Structure 1
Amino acid sequence: MIKQSLISYRNLQCGITAAANILHRTKQLNHACLYCSTKAIDAQHITFLGAKPNFYKKDNMIRVKDDPDTFGSHSEQELFNSDDEKEEKYLQEKPLPSTKLRTKNYADLIKNFIRKRKIQEAIDVLEIKMLKEDRVKPENYIYSLLIGACGRVGYTKKAFSLFNNLKKRGLKVHPSMYTSLFNACANSPWPLSDGLTRARHLRNLIIEKMYEPNESNYNAMIKAFGRCGDIHTAFGIVDEMVSKKLPIKADTLNFLLQACISNKEAGFRHAILVWHKLIKSAISPNLFTFNLMLRCIRDCEIGDLEVTKDAIENIISTNKKSLDINQTDLIGSSSEHTTVLTLPVKCSDDNNFQDLVVPSFAENRPNLMSETPHLGNIIALSEIKTPQDRFLLVGGLSGFIDNMISYNCTPDIKTCTQILDNIPSTLAAEKELLQYMRKLDIKPDIDFFNMLIKKRSLRFDYQSAREVLTMLDTNKLRPDLVTYGVLALGCKTREEALSFKEEMNKKRYRLNIQILGAMLHQACHHNDFQYVLELMEICVRDNIKPSGKFMEKLVEFKKKNKKISNDKSNPVSDSESFKKGWKIFKMRYKSWLKEVTFDSEDEIHPWQQFREEVKTDVNHYRDRDVKTRFKPRHLSLFKQKTSKKASVRN
C-alpha cells in the first residue's frame, strides 16, 4: 500500500515537472515571438515536447532575448577582442635587433630634417620610429635636438610637451634645454600671452629647482622677457647677473636693446641709456648693436618729456664730470680750432690705455651716441616726433656712420636699408646715403631698391621712383614681383595701368591682388570710374580672387560716390561724366559680385605646418643625394656574396 502511494506520488511529481517544463517553454516561445521578423512563422515547425527549437537559424531570423547560452553582448566581445589583439600583436611582433639604429644615427636623421625645416618629420622620428616601431629608449640628446628645433620656430606647445616627457622618463635636464625653452617663448606667435606666461612659469620652475643658470640661460631669459614686453623683468635679470658676478658682454646688451624695441612708447630713451651703459662698461658694440639702435630709432618714441629730459641731462653731466677728471690726460693739437680730441679710456681686456676719437664741442650737431654726448642746437625735445627727428639726435647720417667706423664696425646692406627708413624723405638725403654706400663699397640689393622706390612713391615723386630701374640695370639686378608692386603706386590713370601690365607681361610676371590693390588706391583717390571698372574686369579675365582689403576699398569707394550723388549742393553730382560713371558702376558692381570668387582670408594657424600629416617615410634615415659617413645597416642577417669566387663555386 505504501509502495503504491510512493509510486503514485512520484508519478504526480513527474507530471507536475513536465507540466512546468511545458509552461516554461510556452513562455519562451511567446517571448520569442515578440522579437521575430516580419516573416510569418509556421506553428507546425515548432514542437512543444520534441527537441529544443532552433531559434538561431538564419532562415527564421529569431533571437531569444537574454539567452543564457550567450555570454555578454557582441559589442563587449568586440572591444575585449580588439584590446587582446593589440596586446598580442605588441608582444609577438617585436622588432628585430638589426632594424634598430644607434643614437648617433637617430640624431643624424633628426638633424637632417631640422636642416630642411621639416619639424614634424623630425618629431615623428622620436614619437613613431623610435618609440612605436623600433621601441628604443631615447636619450636626452634626442630631446635636446627637438626642443631646440621647436624653440627656433616658436612651437612652444610642443617644446614644453617634449620637456615634460623628458622629465617623466627620468632623463637628466641639460642646461641648453632651458635656453631652448626660453627661445621658444621669445619666438612665440603670441608673445604677450602665450610666450610671457610660459616664460614666467619656466623661471619660477628654475627658482623652485634651485638651479643656477649660466650665461646663456640668462641671455635667453632677457631675450624672452624683452620680446614678450616685460622690460622691467629683463632689466632685473641683468642686475641679477651683475650681483652674481657673471660677465656682461655685447650679446647681453643686444638682448636688452630688443627689450627696448618692444616698448613703443619710451623705447628710444631706454636704448640711449643702455648704449651709455655699454660704453661706460668698456664693452665694444658690434654691428648688431648699431642695427638694433636703428630699429629703436624707427619704431620707438622718446616717452615722457620730463623723464627723457632728466635722463639726457644726467648722461651729459656724467660725461662732463668724467672729462673734467681726465682733463690733464687730454692730448690735442696746439691750434685754436681743434676738430679731434684723443681721450685715454681704460680697456676691459688689459690694463693699458687706448686712444678713442671724440668729436669736438665746436660742432652744433646733436649726437647722443658719441663719447661726449651733447644736444647741440636742439632747443626743445617736444618737437621730436618722427624717426627723422630721432635720427638727428644721434648725429644724423654722417654722425651715425662715423660713430660706427670709430668702433671698427663697417655698415652692411641691412644697416643702410634701416638708415633709409630714418633719413628725411628728400632726394638730397637719399643721394647722400648712396654716396656713402659707394664710398664704403656696399653693394645694394633688390630689397634696398624696393624700399627706395616705395619711399619715393609715397611722397608722389613717381618720376624719381622710375629712375631706380636704371640703378637696377647698373647694379645688374633684375626686378622682382615686389618691385612691380611698389611701382604700381605710381599708376595714376587707366592708360598707365594698362601699359604697366604689358610691361609686366614682357618680363613674364603676372598681376596679383596686391598690385591691383595699389592701383585701386590710386583709382579711388582720383575718383576715376573707368579706372576702377577696368581693375574689376581684370579680376574677372585673369581669375584673380579679390581680397578683403580690395573689397573694403571698393565698398568705401561706393559709399563716397553715393554720398556725392545724394548731395545736390555738390557741383560734382550735377556733371554728366559723374552721373554716367556712377550709373555704370552701380550696374556692373552687382553683376561683378556674382562673377568673381572671393579669397577666403581665414587666418592660418601658425602651428598648422607642424600638425599636418606628413608623407615622408621616416624609416629612410639617409637621403640618396646626400653623402654621409654612416653606412646603412643590412636588414638581412646574412651578407650577400657577390664576389667572383663565390659565383665560380656555385
Structure 2
Amino acid sequence: MAVQLMSRYFPVGIHTLKASLYPSVCPACRVWTLEHKLSAWPENPQTLLSSLCSRSFSSAKATGRGRDLNESRPAQSSETVTEEEADAEEGFGTLSEKFSSRRFFQKATAEFHELKIRTEWTTEEEELKRKPWRGRRNTPYWYFLRCKALIKEDKLAEALDLFEGQMLKEERLQPEEMNYTVLIGGCGRVGYLKKAFSLYNDMKKRGLTPTDATYTALFNACAQSPWKDSGLQSMLKLREQLQEKDLELNTISYRALLKACAFCSDLRMCLQVFKEMVQKGHSITTETFNFLLMGCIKDKESGFRFALQLWQQMAKLDIRPDGYTYNLMLTAARECSLGDPLVASELLLRVPEESSAMPRQRPGRQRQRAKDRGGKELGPAAGPQLNVEDLERRMFPEHLVKPAKPLVSQQTGAEEETTMLDSGTSENLPALRPNRLVPSFSTANGELSPGACSSPNLLDFPIPKDNLVSLGTVDTPSDRLALMGNLEGFLKKMREDDVAANIKTFTLLGELVEPGSPSESSLLAVLEEHNVRPDLTFFNTLVRKKSKQGDLKGAKSLLPVLVKKGLSPNLHTFCNLAIACYKQVDGMQLLADMKRSRINPNIHIYGALINAAVKKLDYAYLIDILRDMSNTQTAPNEFVLKMLEFAAQYPPDFDPYKTREPYLAKINGFRAFYFRWLKWMAAEEQPHPWAKYRTGKESRSPASTGEE
C-alpha cells in the first residue's frame, strides 16, 4: 500500500525524487550525496511523506510532472518546455553562488561527521571495514588479569592494544577502575608519562573514581620519566589537584610522591613532603628514609654529608637500615662530595644536645601508635621524637654557628677549646696532604696531631670521637669510604644490623676501595667468605677501574679469573678494556680479538677508542678507527661526532707556517679523510624512549615524535 501511494504521487521514481531535492548541487556532488543519503533514508513511507512535505511537491511542479495533482493548470507547448529545460540546464547551480558560498544547503548527518573524524586518525581498512566481534564475550576482570600478565612479561604495547583495540572498540565493554590502574602502573614503571596521564584523563571522563593505587602509579610515572622537568611539572600539577579536592593520600602514595621529588626535584622538596607525612601521622619506615637518601644523591656537592646526617637521624629514631640503605650510602660516597670540611665537621662531629636526653629503644620493642577518630592507625608516634624543621635547619644551615660545647679530650680528661670552626678562616687546622683523608686529633699538650690513630666510622651512633677535632680533606671516593670504616668496618657494621651483603654491595665496594690497597686484593676472598657468587657486572667494574687508571695489563689479568668463575666476557667487558687502549697497536689488537671471538664492536667501543686516541692526538690512530667503522657499517652517534669535531679543529695558537708540532703534523690528512668519511657514513638515529610502547593511532600521529 505504501509503495503504491508513493508511486501514485511520485510516478518518476523514488531515486529521481531524491535527486530533485538537491537542485543547487552540481551533478558530480549530487551523486556523491545520494550515496550517503540513501543509507539514512527512512524506511517508513509515512515518515518519508511527512519529511518531504511542500518541498517535494514544489519540486514536482517545477519539473512539470505533477499534472495529476493539479489538473486545472493549462498545458504548455513542447517548445516552451524545451526552452525552459535548456535554460535550467545551463544555469543549474549557478544562482546559489551569488548568495552563498556553502557547498551543502542541508545539515550533514551525525554519521557523516563520525565518518570524517574516523578517517582523519585511522585508515579505511581498520575502521570502515571493521568486522563485528564474533569471539567470546570476556569480562573486564578477564582483561584486567590478561593486561597484568602482559605487563609482567614486559609487553606493555600488547597490553595497551588489547585494552584499547579489543576491549573498547571491538567488544565495546565498559571498563572499570582496575583496568585503567593496571595500565597506568605499567606505564609508570617504564616512564611512559604521557600515556599514563592520558589514561587517567580518559578514566575521569568515563566517570570512574581513581583510587590510591592510581595516584601511586601516576607519581611513579613522574619519577621514572626520561624528562625530569616534564615529570616535575606533572607531579606538581597532580599534587595541586589533589589538594584542591582535599583528598588524603595513604602512606604508599606519599612514598611514591617522595620518590618523584627525589628523582625530579631536590632534597628540599623531599623534606617538605617528609614533613607533611609526619604531620599527618603516617608511619616513617626504612623505605621512607631510602627515598630521602635518593634525594641526597642528587646533590653532587654535599650529598654525602646529607646522607650521613640522615643516617644519624635514623639511628635516633631507632629505625634499622636494610641492604638497600647500605647500597645507597655507598652510591652517595661514590657520586657525591662531602662539601665544606668545616661545615661537615661542625654538623657531623658535634655531640647533639637531644641525644643524651632521648632514651634509645630496641628494634624489637613495640612502639606506641596513634589513632584518629575512626580508629585507623596512623603509624608510630614520632611527633615528639622527630622534628623535621630542626633536621632541615641542621642540613641547610644559613650560617655556621660556633659549637655550643667544646670537644672533650679524653687524654687530659678536661674540656679544652681546641678550635673555633668559623666559615671565614681555617688557620687552626693542621696542614693536610692534598687528596687524602687525615683526621685531626688533640694530644696531651694541646697540640693537633694529624693521623694519631685510625679514622672513626661515622655510621656508628653515637660517634666515638676519641680526641677527634675535625675532618681533613675528603676528595676521593676511597676517602669517603674511609669515613665509613673502609671495607672491613663497613661490612662489620652490616653484620651488626643483621643485613646480608649482596653482589650489588660488593660491586660498589670494588669501585670505592683504594687502588692498590690490601682491601682491593682481598676483595674476592671476602666475597667468598660471605657466600656471594660474583657475576659479570662485578668483574666489569674491576676491569673498568683498572682501565681508568691506565693499567691495561692489570685489566687483562682479570679475564682469566673471569673465565675461571664460569663467565664469558661481553660487549661491556671489551668496552671497559678499550678505555685503556691509548696506543694504536692495542686498539687494533682489541678489535681483531673481538672479531676473532665473533663479537661485533658497537658504537660504545668505538667511542672509547676514539676518546683514547683524541687524548693522545694520534691522528693515524683515529683514521684507522674510522676506517674500521666504515667496514663494519657502525653509524656514529652524537657523542662520537662531538669528539671527532674537536679533533678536527686547529688549536687556537697553531700556525703551521711558523712552528712544526710532531703531534699536529698529520692533522691536515685527518681532516681530509674525516670530511670525506662524513659523506658516506650515516649518523645513528636515537630512538624515542616511548616508541616501542606506542600502538596504532599514537605511532602514526605527527605530534607524537617530539613530546617530552
So what's the TM-score if we normalise by structure 2? 0.67
For 1:208 and 1:451, the matched residues in 2 are separated by: 49
Q: What whole-Å deviation, never above 9, does each CA across 1:83-115 have from its counterpart, x for those lacking one?
A: 17859x99xx99679743112221122123312
2:12 matched to which residue of 1?
none
For 1:307 and 1:505, the matched residues in 2 are separated by: 54
Work out which of the residue numbers 221, 226, 236 in structure 2 matches 1:200: 236
Work out which of the residue numbers 178, 189, 194 in structure 2 matches 1:157: 194
1:421 matched to which residue of 2?
511
**CA, structure 1 residues 188+536, in 2 after alignment: closer, same or farther (shift >3 Å)?**
closer
Instruction: Please provide the CA RMSD for this pair.
Output: 3.8
Is 1:370 equivalent to 2:370 in the alignment? no
Is 1:454 equivalent to 2:538 in the alignment? no
**CA, structure 1 residues 201+453, in 2 after alignment: closer, same or farther (shift >3 Å)?**
same
Tell me if the contact between 1:316 and 1:374 (Cα under 8 Å) persists in the aligned partners.
no
Is 1:302 equivalent to 2:338 in the alignment? yes
Is 1:176 equivalent to 2:213 in the alignment? yes
**CA, structure 1 residues 211+298, in 2 after alignment: closer, same or farther (shift >3 Å)?**
same
Q: Percent identity?
A: 31
Question: What displacement does 1:414 show?
Answer: 0.7
Q: Which secondary structure does the structure 1 equivalent of 2:460 belong to?
A: coil
**CA, structure 1 residues 548+216, in 2 after alignment: closer, same or farther (shift >3 Å)?**
closer
**CA, structure 1 residues 498+230, in 2 after alignment: closer, same or farther (shift >3 Å)?**
closer
300-309 or 479-488: bigger deviation: 300-309
For 2:698 and 2:114, the matched residues in 1 are separated by: 28
Tell me if the contact between 1:366 and 1:377 (Cα under 8 Å) persists in the aligned partners.
no
Work out which of the residue numbers 83, 103, 112 in structure 1 matches 2:112: 83
Is 1:588 equivalent to 2:673 in the alignment? yes
Work out which of the residue numbers 670, 693, 707 in structure 2 matches 1:610: 693
For 2:660 and 2:463, the matched residues in 1 are separated by: 57
For 1:587 and 1:612, the matched residues in 2 are separated by: 45
Question: What displacement does 1:397 show?
Answer: 1.2
Is 1:125 equivalent to 2:125 in the alignment? no
For 1:459 and 1:145, the matched residues in 2 are separated by: 47
Q: Which amino acid aligns with 1:534?
A: D
For 2:519 and 2:561, the matched residues in 1 are separated by: 17
Tell me if the contact between 1:367 and 1:376 (Cα under 8 Å) persists in the aligned partners.
no
Tell me if the contact between 1:454 and 1:486 (Cα under 8 Å) persists in the aligned partners.
yes
Tell me if the contact between 2:314 and 2:320 (Cα under 8 Å) persists in the aligned partners.
yes
Tell me if the contact between 1:121 and 1:614 (Cα under 8 Å) persists in the aligned partners.
no
Work out which of the residue numbers 572, 580, 594 in structure 2 matches 1:482: 572
Q: What whole-Å deviation, never above 9, does each CA across 1:551-572 have from its counterpart, x for those lacking one?
A: 3333333335796562634563
Q: Which amino acid aligns with 2:689?
A: P
Q: Which amino acid aligns with 1:430?
A: E
Q: Which secondary structure does the structure 1 equivalent of 2:662 belong to?
A: helix
Is 1:51 equivalent to 2:82 in the alignment? yes
2:445 matched to which residue of 1?
none
1:212 matched to which residue of 2?
248
**CA, structure 1 residues 567+72, in 2 after alignment: closer, same or farther (shift >3 Å)?**
closer
Matches within 5 A, 1:110-509: 110-191=147-228, 193-315=229-351, 321=356, 346-350=362-366, 364-374=454-464, 380-381=470-471, 383-426=473-516, 428-509=518-599
Q: Which secondary structure does the structure 2 equivalent of 1:572 belong to?
A: coil
Q: Which amino acid aligns with 2:544?
A: K
Matches within 5 A, 1:32-111: 49=80, 51-52=82-83, 64-66=92-94, 80=109, 83=112, 99-111=136-148
**CA, structure 1 residues 535+97, in 2 after alignment: closer, same or farther (shift >3 Å)?**
closer
Question: What displacement does 1:286 show?
Answer: 0.8
Tell me if the contact between 1:267 and 1:301 (Cα under 8 Å) persists in the aligned partners.
yes
Question: What displacement does 1:348 show?
Answer: 4.5
**CA, structure 1 residues 63+388, in 2 after alignment: closer, same or farther (shift >3 Å)?**
farther
**CA, structure 1 residues 238+527, in 2 after alignment: closer, same or farther (shift >3 Å)?**
closer
Q: What whole-Å deviation, never above 9, does each CA across 1:32-76 have from its counterpart, x for those lacking one?
A: xxxxxxxxxxxxxxx97461476699xxx966343689x997667
Q: What whole-Å deviation, never above 9, does each CA across 1:104-155 have from its counterpart, x for those lacking one?
A: 2211221233123232332333333222222211111111111211221222
Q: Which amino acid aligns with 1:521?
A: N
For 2:209 and 2:283, the matched residues in 1 are separated by: 27
Question: What displacement does 1:271 show?
Answer: 1.3
- Pairs aligned (count): 528
Question: What displacement does 1:463 show?
Answer: 0.9
Q: What whole-Å deviation, never above 9, does each CA across 1:343-384 have from its counterpart, x for those lacking one?
A: x85335349xxxxxxxxx997322110133245687654612
Question: What displacement does 1:318 show?
Answer: 5.8
Tell me if the contact between 2:349 and 2:465 (Cα under 8 Å) persists in the aligned partners.
no
Tell me if the contact between 2:299 and 2:336 (Cα under 8 Å) persists in the aligned partners.
yes
2:683 matched to which residue of 1?
599
Q: Which secondary structure does the structure 1 equivalent of 2:546 belong to?
A: helix
Is 1:553 equivalent to 2:643 in the alignment? yes
**CA, structure 1 residues 202+85, in 2 after alignment: closer, same or farther (shift >3 Å)?**
closer
Tell me if the contact between 1:131 and 1:137 (Cα under 8 Å) persists in the aligned partners.
yes
Q: What whole-Å deviation, never above 9, does each CA across 1:402-458 have from its counterpart, x for those lacking one?
A: 111111111111111112222223354421322221221222111111111111111
Gaps of 5+ in 2: 1-77, 119-126, 368-409, 411-451, 700-708
Q: Which amino acid aligns with 2:682?
A: F
For 1:510 and 1:483, the matched residues in 2 are separated by: 13
Q: Which amino acid aligns with 2:82?
A: A
Q: What whole-Å deviation, never above 9, does each CA across 1:254-308 have from its counterpart, x for those lacking one?
A: 1111122222232222211221222222222111110111111122222344443
Tell me if the contact between 2:140 and 2:173 (Cα under 8 Å) persists in the aligned partners.
no
Tell me if the contact between 1:178 and 1:217 (Cα under 8 Å) persists in the aligned partners.
yes
Tell me if the contact between 1:143 and 1:163 (Cα under 8 Å) persists in the aligned partners.
yes
Is 1:517 equivalent to 2:548 in the alignment? no
Q: Which amino acid aligns with 1:588?
A: F
Tell me if the contact between 1:453 and 1:487 (Cα under 8 Å) persists in the aligned partners.
yes
**CA, structure 1 residues 49+276, in 2 after alignment: closer, same or farther (shift >3 Å)?**
same
1:339 matched to which residue of 2?
none
Q: What whole-Å deviation, never above 9, does each CA across 1:184-207 have from its counterpart, x for those lacking one?
A: 12112222x222222222223223
For 2:270 and 2:283, the matched residues in 1 are separated by: 16
**CA, structure 1 residues 363+403, in 2 after alignment: closer, same or farther (shift >3 Å)?**
farther
**CA, structure 1 residues 243+542, in 2 after alignment: closer, same or farther (shift >3 Å)?**
closer
Tell me if the contact between 1:368 and 1:375 (Cα under 8 Å) persists in the aligned partners.
no
For 2:673 and 2:286, the matched residues in 1 are separated by: 62
1:627 matched to which residue of 2?
none
For 1:173 and 1:586, the matched residues in 2 are separated by: 61
Tell me if the contact between 1:364 and 1:377 (Cα under 8 Å) persists in the aligned partners.
no
Matches within 5 A, 1:17-36: none
1:4 matched to which residue of 2?
none
Q: Which amino acid aligns with 1:483?
A: T
For 1:128 and 1:272, the matched residues in 2 are separated by: 51
So what's the TM-score if we normalise by structure 1? 0.72
Question: What displacement does 1:492 show?
Answer: 3.5
2:622 matched to which residue of 1?
532
For 1:218 and 1:137, the matched residues in 2 are separated by: 31
132-141 or 517-526: bigger deviation: 517-526
